[in-house]
Amino acid sequence: MALAVYMFKQDLASLYNRLLSVDIPPLELQGGLVVSVSYKDPLDEKQIEELNQAMLDAGFLPDKQVFLKDARALELQVTARTYIYAHYEPERQQTLAILLSEARFAGLVNRANYIVQALGWVDSIFTYYYTKKAEIEAATKDAEIAAVTWDFAQFDDTDPVVSIKEARSIPD
């Protein structure tokens, strides 16, 4: 969580420093804060904080908590997808979905039942993912956002390890 806040501040500082490479005429922000910067006027930390707050108040920046929630939700999403793809990469999932459709169309019940195990396993991970995402969204304090944890390794033992080769070999 501290990393997300640090990155948020660093991104803003980087943005402001890029803005400093050109002269900007005085700009009055909401609340009466007047900002005038030029290449010769680098912003110090206090000025950056004041500008952050003025831009936040004016609606130009997301609320810090919204930013933290989005960062945490993105971390969860990347972790979930990485975990799933390590077991069933997208191409394999697509092929299994096609084989499942073909099996159902052809009435190959055993083949379909074999394949559906993998799709059910992936679905159970998405159910877990959405539960954790809801916890992040429901958090009302920074510490609560940071306290949301997840453990996808708990699904390792339930992976049915469905293979395309095996699926194709089931005549029914």
For residue range 12-38, list pLDDT tens digits in order: 555 555 544 444 455 565 556 555 544
CB 19 within 8 A of CB 1: no
pLDDT at residue number 1: 43
CB 98 within 8 A of CB 136: no
Residue written as token pair 């929630």? 69
For residue range 147-164, list pLDDT tens digits in order: 999 999 999 999 999 999
For residue range 108-123, list pLDDT tens digits in order: 999 999 999 999 999 9
**Domain assignments of the chain as residue spans, ordered by start:** 2-61, 65-169
Q: Which pTM does this prediction carry?
A: 0.65
For the chain, what is the total number of helices (H) and then of strands (E)? 7, 2
pLDDT at residue number 22: 46
pLDDT at residue number 30: 55
pLDDT band at 65 (very low <50, low <70, confident <90, very high): confident
